[in-house]
Structure 1
C-alpha cells in the first residue's frame, strides 16, 4: 500500500487500467464468443442447404425461351386448354392422314381417350381407367366388337383366328398387325414398354382386341405366367386388385382371355369372383381350351358373360406344314359345327402362314369373323 501511495500518478493510472482490462477478460471470454458466432453462421448455412430445395444455391436465375415451340403444336395446345370435364378428342387431318387408310382410335374424332376407350365406358381407379358398363347400359363387349356382315356369311361356316402373346415384342406385333386381315382378333399380354401404342395401331387397323390375363397353372411357380398372376387361395380382394391392374394396361378390348391357368380356372371359389366382375363390367371371356377342367363355361353362363372356347392350337409345332395341317383341321371343325376358333402365337412363321391361308378362305366357302361373333 505504501508503494502504491508513493508511486507516481501515471504509474497508478496504468495499474488501474490493467486491473480493469483483466477484469473484462475474466467476464467476457472474447475468443469463445467469436467462436460461437462462427458456429452459428456455419450451422445456419448448412441448415439452409439441407432444408431449402434450391438447385441454384441461391444464385439469381432467369428463364429464357430458346427456340420456343409455344403455339407450334396444335394438338398439345388443344389438350392443354380443353375443359377438364371433357374427354380429349383429336380429329384426323385429311392432309396428314392418307385417305382410305385406317387411323387409330385417338384420331377418329369420336371421343376415345388416350387409352383407346370411350369415356362413358371407363372407370378411374388407382391403377388407371378400367372398363365398365355405361350409365345408359352400353357394354364394352358390344361397343368394341368389330362388326361383320352377318347376312353375307349366312349359311357359311365361320372361323375366328386369335393371335396371342402380342405387345411384348413391338416389331413383331406391328408386323403381325400389318400382315393379318382385320377380321383376325389380336390378344395382347399386359406387359411391354410400348403396349398402348401397339394396341392403338391394332385397333386403328380394324382389329378386335382381347386382354390376356395370367392365371395360376398347376406347376406354379416353376411355370410362372408373369407379374400380377391371379392365384388360388389368395383373398378374393387381392385377386380383384390384380385384375384391376391388368385391366388398366390398355383400353378398347371386348373381353379377356386366360394365359395358362389350369389350376385357377378349375377352382370355383377363386374363379367365381373374377367371372362375376367381368359380367358386372360388360366384358367377354374367351377360354383358350388348354384345360378340360376349366369351369369357365358354367361361370360365364351364370354371370351372363359372353363366352367362347377355342377349338384348336394351330402352332404347337411352329413350322409351315404342321400349321397348314392344323388349319385344315380347323376348317373341318367349322364345316361340322358351323363355326370354329383357332389360336396361334405371334411367331413370324405362324403369322405369315395364317395370312397366306386367309387369302384363299373365301374361295373355299368359309367366312373369317372376329372372335366376338362366336362368343355367346
Structure 2
C-alpha cells in the first residue's frame, strides 16, 4: 500500500524528532471547507500544497472536493465527531454498524479524500474501541488519519500508531484567536517548532484574517528555512512517530 512506502521512506531518512535541524518541514490544513464558495476559492488559491479539509454536511462539499483535487491539492474528509452534531457525526454509544454507515456516507460526499481528520471530537477521539475500529477501517481503505488533538485525552493517534495506520498529529492551531496579530504569532510559533523538531503540522480555518495572514506569509517560508509539504510527505517524514509534545521516544501517550 502506498502509505507503507511513505513510512519506509521516512524511516530510511532517519528523521530527527527533537534536535534542531537544518531542514524544517511544515504542513498546513484548512478545516471547515465546503460552506462558502468564496472562502473555499480563496483557500484553494493559497500558494503551495495546503490541504483542504472538507466537511461532509456542507452545501458545496462534493463540488469543492472535485475542484480541489483537479487543482492538485490534497483533499481530506473533515469528519464530525462529538460534540459536533449532524447526520454524519460520531457520538459515544452509537453502534459500530451505524458509525460505519456514517463514515461511508461522509466519504461519498467528499470524493478524492486521501485521509480523515476529526472536526471537534473531544469526546469521540477519547473512545478507545471506536478509534481502534476507525484506524483499522482507514488502513483497509488505504486512507491516513490526522489527529486534530482537540483533547488531551485523545487516543486516536496512539491507536493508529499501534495498528500501523498512516497518521500525523496537529502541533499548532493557527486561529483560536482570530486577530491577524495572534494568527501571525501562531504561524511563527509553528515555524520555530518546525526548526526545532524538524517538522510541524498546523491547522487553521477559512476565516478572512487567517487567509490574509497566510497569503502574506506563505511566500516567505523558504527564506525562513521552512519547506511546505503535503500530508503524504509529512507522513513519510515522521514515520508514524510522535513528536515530543505528544509522547516519549516516538510513542504516543494515552496508549
TM-score range, shorter chain: 0.7 to 0.9
Determine the C-alpha separation between the residues in 1 that align with 2:117 and 2:105: 15
Q: How does 1:4-19 map to 2 (within 5 A)?
A: none
Match of 1:197 among 51, 54, 63: 63
**Counterpart residue number, 1:333:** 193
Does 2:111 align with 1:251?
Answer: yes
* Paired residue secondary structure (1:212): strand
Partner of 2:32: 165
In structure 1, the residue matched to 2:141 is 281
State which of 211, 220, 227 in structure 2 corresponds to 1:367. 227
Q: Greater RCO between the two (CA within 8 Å, min separation 6)?
A: 2
Classify the secondary structure of the residue corresponding to 1:176. Answer: helix
Aligned residue in 2 for 1:130: none
> Secondary structure of the residue that 1:255 maps to in structure 2?
strand
Give the aligned partner of residue 23 of structure 2: 156
Aligned to 1:182: 48
Correspondent of 2:120 among 236, 260, 267: 260
CA contact (8 A) 1:163 1:186 kept: yes
Q: Residues 142 and 193 of structure 1: is their aligned pair in 2 closer, same or farther, counting only changes over 3 Å?
A: farther
Q: Which runs of 5+ in 1 are unaligned?
A: 1-137, 144-150, 218-223
In the comparison of the two structures, how many residue pairs are matched? 222
Q: TM-score, normalization: structure 1?
A: 0.56
Are 1:315 and 2:182 counterparts? no
Secondary structure at 2:87 match in 1 = coil
8 A contact 1:142–1:254 mirrored in 2: no
Shift of 1:250: 2.4
Query: Cα offset for 1:327?
Result: 0.9
Q: Deviations over 1:279-331 (max 9, x none)?
A: 11111000112211111122102322111110111111111111111111111
The answer on whether the counterparts of 1:289 and 1:312 sit within 8 Å (CA) in structure 2 is: no
Q: CA deviation at 1:193?
A: 2.7
CA contact (8 A) 2:56 2:88 kept: no
1:232 aligns with 2:98: no
- Could you list the per-position Cα deviations for residues 258-284 of structure 1 after superposition, in whole angstroms to 9, with x for gaps in the alignment? 011111111112222122111111110
The match for 1:211 is 77
User: Any gaps of 5 or more consecutive residues in structure 2?
Assistant: 6-12, 14-20, 241-255
1:305 to 165, 170, 179: 165
> C-alpha displacement at 1:195, in angstroms?
2.2
Q: Show structure 1 runs of 4+ deviating over 3 A.
A: none
Deviations 1:23-72 (A, max 9, x none): xxxxxxxxxxxxxxxxxxxxxxxxxxxxxxxxxxxxxxxxxxxxxxxxxx
Distance 1:364 1:270 in 2: 41
Equivalence for 2:249: none
1:254 aligned counterpart, secondary structure: strand
RMSD of the TM alignment (CA)?
2.0
- Normalized per residue, the structure richer in strand is 2
Using the alignment, how far apart are the partners of 1:328 and 1:345 within structure 2? 17
